[in-house]
Amino acid sequence: MLVLCLFVDYIVSDFLIPITESFPNMAASSSSSRLVHAVGRSLFSGLCNNADGLMRSAHEMMCNHLLFQQQRTFIQMRTSLKVVDNSGAKRVACIQALKGKKGARLGDTIVCSVKEAQPGGKVKKGEVHYGVVVRAAMPRGRCDGSEVKFDDNAVVLINKHGEPIGTRVFGPVPHELRKKKHVKILSLAEHIA
């Protein structure tokens, strides 16, 4: 941007002033040539300022986009999650992320309380269980440069030994669960993303 403004200043000082001085009808005195010089500079500096304003507004738009992306955060205390297995629970609320973490991501284990449950299921409303986060709305980067994110936050309930309570897992689950040693959940899943 600075280079453009310097180039414009060079054009005004080297080309416009000699033209006005060579034609006496166009410029009667040196004061009028200074006036033309000032008008040219103000015109081109206005263009530079407008371009600078456009760059600034594009920067602000980018920052606003990044702030919008940052609204999707970790799964933390009191986050409501969908249960995607056939254990009988429909929705749970996160009580705490395990291993001293502030929040949970894909593959992390949480302690959760059952808020809604189907009648006659293995788990009842109000019970406290462990759960593995299998889908998260927060984007997670992968080694190949891509990222994975889902439309909802979902969990699979597990027992104290880390085995799933249900016998089926609905919807896609990410293959990052293999690194977290949740191979049983991957074997029960319909689709691995």
Give me the pLDDT at residue 7, please.
Answer: 47
Predicted confidence at residue 184, as pLDDT, reads 93
Quick check: 12 and 44 in contact, CB under 8 A? yes
- pLDDT at residue 101, rounded to an integer: 84
Q: Which residues of the chain have pLDDT under 50?
A: 1-8, 12, 16, 19-20, 27, 54, 66-70
Here the tokens at position 43 are 């015109």
d(C-alpha 133, C-alpha 141), whole Å: 16
- At 100 the pLDDT is 84
Residue 193 pLDDT: 82
CA distances from 51 to 1, 15, 46, 47 (A): 8, 23, 9, 6
Segment holding 69, helix H or strand E: helix 30-69
- What does the pLDDT look like over 49-100, one tens digit per residue? 555 554 555 555 555 554 444 456 789 899 999 999 999 999 999 999 998 8
Residue recorded with tokens 């293999």: 178
The contacts of residue 87 (CB under 8 Å, 6+ apart) are 121, 122, 123, 157, 164, 165, 166
DSSP string, 8-24: HHHHIIIIIHHHHHH-T
Closest to 74 in 3D by CA, of 31, 45, 29, 107: 107
